[in-house]
Structure 1
Amino acid sequence: MSTDDRPKATPGGGVPPLVLVSGPQQILAERAITSTLDALRSLAPDVEYIRVDMETYEPGQIGMQCAPSLFGGDKCVVVRGAEQAGDDAQADLLAQIERPEPGVTLVVAHAGGNRGKRVVDAMKKNRARVIEAPAIKTDKDKNDFAVNEFRRNRRKATPEAVRALVEAVGKDVRELASACKQLIDDTTGLIDERVVATYHGGKVEATGFRVADAAVAGNAAEALRLLRHALASGVDPVPIVAVLAVQLRQLVKVAGAGRASSNSLAKTLGMAPWQIDRARRALNGWDVEALGRCIQAVAAADEAVKGGGRDPVYAVEKAVLTICAERSGRHR
């Protein structure tokens, strides 16, 4: 069967016979599969859902599952882990992609990499719908994810609230999604930093981000209070020093970026627009030489907390006090 002769209609009305979910972010991939099933069931509530895992694949399984049912009806065959597909599995998938069965929607989830790339290429060649599930790694990625969580649920959250939420629960994207859902379900109106603090106040206060903010602002008393609270709460000195370094590097980048809008600079600097705006506000009272000295102090603290010094707590406190002193001008 040629490409042009492939069945065009599917039980879901708007879902093509082939759907490729491409990317490593599991929560996005799961949502893509769920939304595809929901679309199919909107017009064919009895569509049969069949899951095929490449980890336990047996030769011929794709052909068997995609074969027309003796009792009729439509099918949605979801293949997970296509990046793990062996030669037999890829051959079976390619055969189904080139000669799809009427009434069958084939959904292939591929997390990335070269293995299984023939399947990905064949899906695209045969006009599969491609749904991206890109990795969410950086703070900017997590910020954008959280903003979209609120937006798609028709809720508004301030940039400060989003930042506080990412700082509190942003290590795991699934946990971040759950935290967003909790705020959406349990609150009304604008979600601001105070709302986030009500639900995640302990976690927010014990993060290195608050320590860094206070230090960059030159508030030594508050920086030390937050630092000691974080350490007493079990936060390791290593990530605190890492956050200090990130904050200082962001100040240096923004200081040298010119006066273009934060939106236009975001992609170039690898920062969210609100991070650029915050850095610009924080730069008041700083010069490049002082920032350079602070970065050197934090580098020394980084070496100390990773085994190069006798007292990690003293090392990070010294770095924090150095930043505060540079901000207040006592070292100039």
Structure 2
Amino acid sequence: MATRKNTTDDPLAPVTLAVGQEELLLDRAVQQVVAAARAADADTDVRDLAADQLQPGMLAELTSPSLFAERKVLIVRNAHDLSAESVKDVKTYLGAPAEEDITLVLVHAGGAKGKGLLDAARKAGAREVACPKTTKPAERLTFVRGEFRALGRSATPEACQALVDAIGSDLRELASAVSQLTADVEGTIDEAVVGRYYTGRAEASSFNVADRAVEGRAAEALEALRWSLATGVAPVLITSALAQGVRAIGKLSSARGGRPADLARELGMPPWKIDRVRQQMRGWTPDGVAVALRAIAEADAGVKGGGDDPEYALEKAVVTIARAARSRRG
């Protein structure tokens, strides 16, 4: 058997702490340890336990040396839910973990509950893998880019954004989509490829409605809006996307000229989005931006209970925005 490396980056460190609430990342942290253990010993004994299954006294038994000298991986899920007695057992083990061939993996949500165990594991020098919940679109975009890189494939920024817009916030679905695209498509993956694979979902995206509206394409924006509503997209997400689209135009139109990278830093947008917004803002005037924002505010109130027909409120806003997008030409 391979001996354990003495490094905090080693998946076979005596104790690994997977901390966070993003299920996909937590599962990957666990799978990394199991894969490393089985690479070192194909007969590795893996025990995967929920917190309520680890009864007082069990840890000592499960981490005792095997008669057959086999490697062991013990996974404790939701370690923040362990009983007080089991927490004591784990803390005792952390003080003197098994030297060879046994790896303990604690999966912890990272909140206030069970913080004593979390602190004890960190103090004992446990290897830690951060698995934070991805709540921001920029984080999901970074995740998608990382997935393509990990698979050794190239995807354009527009393709990554289109995939996030089409799939949404579920990291498992995003990872699955990246895997499918890289398996099926040769060469660089661009926005057109994403559109072909996920056209139904992409067309239902609230951002697709916003893009068509701010480009002055009223008929296409209304078609995208009706498809979005028919496929269950929440009206509040559509008003939010409309607001983001118009505000981006307002920000860029009032910014000083410069390179996309400089403007990106100033406005908090990725450089590729600067280029897209520049194309979208050609027909806009400051008065047009003001008119569009008022229309979005009215629609937002309408979809949140201030009106009798949320669909009509959204249609009215989309038409007003598309007209405002042509105000310079008008």
Q: What's 2:181 paired with?
A: 183
- Between the aligned partners of 1:79 and 1:257, the Cα distance in structure 2 is 52
Equivalent-residue separation in structure 1 for 2:85 and 2:118 (angstroms): 15
The structural deviation recorded for 1:95 is 0.8
Counterpart in 1 of 2:135?
Answer: 137
Distance 1:71 1:263, change over 3 A: farther
Q: Give yes or no for contact 1:51–1:80 (8 Å, CA) kept in 2.
A: yes
Residue 306 of structure 1, CA deviation:
2.3
Q: Aligned residue for 1:212?
A: 210
Unaligned runs of 5+ in 1: 1-8
* Equivalence for 1:6: none
C-alpha deviation, 1:22, in angstroms: 1.4
1:240 aligns to what? 238
**2:20 aligned to which of 4, 23, 26:** 23
* Residue 325 (structure 1) aligned to one of 311, 323, 326: 323
Q: 2 CA distance for matches of 1:189 and 1:180?
A: 14
The residue identity in structure 2 corresponding to 1:185 is A
1:57 aligns with 2:51: no
Contact 1:241 1:301 in 2 (8 A): yes
1:201 Cα deviation from its structure 2 partner:
0.9
Displacement of 1:262 after TM fit? 5.7
Q: How far 1:97 moved relative to its partner?
A: 0.8
Cα deviation, residue 51, structure 1 = 1.5
**Partner SS, residue 180 of structure 2:** helix
Calculate percent identity across the aligned residue pairs.
40
Select between 270-279 and 188-197 the one with higher mean Cα deviation. 270-279
Q: Which residue of 2 aligns with 1:34?
A: 31
Q: What's the TM-score once normalised by structure 2's chain length?
A: 0.87
The yes-or-no answer on 1:10 pairing with 2:4 is: yes
Determine the structure 1 residue equivalent to 2:71: 74
Match of 2:277 among 257, 276, 279: 279
1:165 aligns with 2:159: no
Number of residues of Structure 1 aligned to a counterpart in Structure 2: 324
In 2: Cα distance, 1:24 partner to 1:267 partner? 30
Between 271-280 and 124-133, report the one with greater CA deviation: 271-280
Shift of 1:94: 0.8
8 Å contact from structure 2 (residues 283, 328) kept in 1: no
Alignment of 1:173-322 (within 5 A): 173-254=171-252, 271-322=269-320
| Unpaired segments ≥5 residues, structure 2 | none
User: Which deviates the most, 35-44 or 280-289?
Assistant: 280-289
**Is the Cα contact below 8 Å between 1:10 and 1:105 reproduced in 2?**
no
The residue aligned with 1:4 is: none
TM-aligned CA deviation for residue 46 of structure 1: 2.1
Matching residue's letter, 2:311: V
2:113 corresponds in structure 1 to 115
Give the superposition deviation at 1:216: 1.0
How far apart are the structure 2 equivalents of 1:26 and 1:270? 29
Instruction: Please tell me the residue identity of whatever aligns with 2:141.
Output: N
Give the AA of the match of 1:293: V
CA RMSD of aligned residues (A): 2.7
Distance (Å, rounded) in 1 between the aligned partners of 2:33 and 2:227: 46
Quickly say closer, same or farther: Cα 1:288–1:79, change in 2 above 3 A.
Answer: farther
Q: Deviations over 1:212-257 (max 9, x none)?
A: 0011112222222322333344544332222212323444455566
**1:258-308 CA distances to partner (integer Å, 9 max, x unpaired)?**
567666776886654433443344344435553343222112111112222
1:122-165 alpha-carbon deviations (Å, 9 max, x no partner)? 22222222111121122211111111111100111112222221
Task: Call closer, same or farther: CA 1:154–1:32 in 2, change over 3 Å.
Answer: same
2:47 is paired with a residue whose SS is strand
